[in-house]
Structure 1
Amino acid sequence: MSAPMTPANAPNGLPDVAHEAAALARPLDWVGMDRIAVPVRIHDADGTTVQVAAEVDVAVDLKDGDARGIHMSRLYLQLQQAFASEAITPPGLRRVLQGFVDSQQGLSTRARLHIRYEHLLQRPALASGHLGWKRYPVSIDAELADGHLHLVLGFAVEYSSTCPASAALSRQRNADRFAEDFSAARPMSTQVVREWLESERGLAATPHAQRSRADVRVALRPAFDELPLLPLVDAVEAALGTPVQTAVKREDEQAFAELNAANLMFCEDAARRVAAALAGDARVERYDIAVAHFESLHPHDAVARVSGRNA
């Protein structure tokens, strides 16, 4: 059992009670700090490195049950420098986590990080050629245990979902009104029908649509040196077909309405679409997906969840 640090044997003459024996000795799974504010560097869409504000949780295990505590300040100080000069990559995360373990001088064998930040991507309008920025919440879970790095990348995509049932009911009402208005019309010209469709009478009902959200978490295979955030976001948005837009002129809004009509989906459909996009990705070992349609018809949300593992 180590002796308590005293002014006589502590660095700078300052006592360190963390070296005292624990009153209820036992190892601890994790010890550390949550919600540390720190800037991190990430790769932008064009490959350049940009700095963004992040919130980080950091922890190590305390395998020595007799030790009262870890060297917590060492974790904090190392974290402040961890991503100061290079972007976050799997090899970089491994080095940082190993440094956390080494800093504890035998007290710990494992380390983990949970990083949260918002990634800005510039997205083009559908038809007008304008550009706008869209925000994607991102999380990175990294754990080093027994020499193995475990990485889980999380992100969220917002999209529009138009209800297939509501669309079918709306089409029926539109057909009913057409039959009412043209029951005695013989013959009918294309121009007359076109003018009717463009009038207020030509729209008897509209399907309900709502902003929706897909939360995705993927366990990454260790063979890759970059975090595949951008290609995974692109794959999910392409699978859904109706990601929310940034810059919108009238021609963009019309194009978006067409996309919604071509991509009618329940929450079950959306979950299956995202799963299909991730199921064949060689970078993904496991995926967990949760979609939520923030209903405009109901005061509650429609949700679906699906998970899977790639061979």
Structure 2
Amino acid sequence: MTMSPTSARAMPDIARDAEPGAAGQLDWVGMDEIAVPVRLANPDGIIVQSPARVAAYVNLKRADARGIHMSRLYLHVDRHLSSEPLTPCSLRRLLRDFLDSHADLSDRARVGIRFDHMIRRPALASDNSGWKTYPVTINASMDASGFAVEVETEVLYSSTCPCSAALARQLIQEQFDADFPEGQALDRHQVIAWLGSEAGIRATPHSQRSSAHVRVRLAAGFDLPIIDLIDLIESALQTPVQTAVKREDEQAFALLNGQNLMFCEDAARRMQEALDADERIVDFWLRAAHLESLHPHDAVAYASKGVEGGYLASQLD
């Protein structure tokens, strides 16, 4: 009897049937760099879609099993992330499906989702606006201890060195003393003109593009505060990089830099204070890196919430 192409037939399942060459439990098995779209709800309720890369894993607790069911992980990722907005609830359902489909093999699951989130930002002073891209990573895990979600992002900002600013002010003072010697009557208009000349800004402090890398673990009962987290960091630092810039915007940016002189330690403490005060965040880790214009190396500071036993507390990258 000839079997038609559509007839059901048994197919070999090596992962299920074959014994492993060497027995042993494995911490994680799965796939990385899965291309899939993710959907996010903006604060105004509009759903936006972004291309993402996903890592999906379960552990392999049975030492005698050859492998897991990779295709099941992929199909769960595709179905969940393509059809519903990304929320802690949707991530919980996804991980539950990972474990239910590997009930005889696994008791731990995790997923990591990386994408770029675009936000339209207004200019500082003009009526213009432009798009800023923020890299976002969402990690979720499920095991016997429960379900956990983390959000990670990076914010670029400008940092002006307080030491350099003080040294520049000293040189400006010395130039003023030389140009307006003691005993000479000061003319207000002459002084104003001097302040607006190159002589009046004999030295400038060095500033540089800087990076704030932040990772937070969320408390139960909250949605994914992606934009809120970005806004929180930018508000703490006060000098996020800009998109659309006219002269009035550049002047406003210079004013913000002058009013927010900071070492990397200052930047880290500003973010630490802001994150520590947010009830949605139960643990955090942050890194402030100033990509020095004075040195060929970077100035870096780390901070964390310091939750006892929290794995975020000791991470350096």
The CA deviation string for residues 35-71 of structure 1, in whole angstroms up to 9 with x for no partner, is 1111111123433111101111100111222111111
Partner of 1:264: 261
Partner of 1:251: 248
Partner of 1:18: 15
Partner of 2:74: 76
Partner of 1:123: 121
Q: SS of 1:299's equivalent?
A: coil
Partner of 2:52: 54
Determine if contact 1:284/1:310 at 8 Å carries over to the other structure.
no
User: Which residue type is aligned with residue 295 of structure 2?
Assistant: H
Q: SS of 1:13's equivalent?
A: coil
Partner of 1:285: 282
* 1:232 is aligned to 2:225: no
User: Which residue type is aligned with residue 284 of structure 2?
Assistant: Y
CA drift of 1:200 comes to 1.4
CA drift of 1:106 comes to 1.8
The CA deviation string for residues 67-87 of structure 1, in whole angstroms up to 9 with x for no partner, is 111111111122111111221
Partner of 2:184: 186
The CA deviation string for residues 172-215 of structure 1, in whole angstroms up to 9 with x for no partner, is 00111011111167321221111111111111000000000000
User: Which residue type is aligned with residue 288 of structure 2?
Assistant: V
Count of matched residue positions in the alignment of Structure 1 and Structure 2: 300
Which contiguous aligned blocks of 4+ residues in structure 1 show a shift greater than 3 angstroms? none
CA drift of 1:301 comes to 0.4
User: Which residue type is aligned with residue 297 of structure 1?
Assistant: L
Partner of 1:162: 160
With normalisation by structure 1, the TM-score equals 0.93
User: Which residue type is aligned with residue 240 of structure 2?
Assistant: P
The CA deviation string for residues 247-282 of structure 1, in whole angstroms up to 9 with x for no partner, is 100000000000000000000000000000001110
Determine if contact 1:31/1:61 at 8 Å carries over to the other structure.
yes
Partner of 2:110: 112
Determine if contact 1:116/1:137 at 8 Å carries over to the other structure.
yes
User: Which residue type is aligned with residue 175 of structure 1?
Assistant: Q
User: Which residue type is aligned with residue 306 of structure 1?
Assistant: A
- Separation in 1 of the partners of 2:173 and 2:57? 62
Q: SS of 2:195's equivalent?
A: helix
Determine if contact 2:134/2:155 at 8 Å carries over to the other structure.
yes
- Separation in 2 of the partners of 1:172 and 1:147? 58
**Identity percentage over the alignment?**
53
Q: SS of 2:83's equivalent?
A: coil
Q: SS of 2:98's equivalent?
A: helix
Partner of 1:141: 139
User: Which residue type is aligned with residue 259 of structure 1?
Assistant: L
Q: Which runs of 5+ in 1 are unaligned?
A: 1-10
Q: SS of 2:231's equivalent?
A: helix
The CA deviation string for residues 90-139 of structure 1, in whole angstroms up to 9 with x for no partner, is 01100000011111242111110011111101111010021111011111
Determine if contact 2:217/2:283 at 8 Å carries over to the other structure.
yes
Determine if contact 1:279/1:309 at 8 Å carries over to the other structure.
no
- Separation in 1 of the partners of 2:224 and 2:103? 30
Q: Which runs of 5+ in 2 are unaligned?
A: 1-7, 309-317
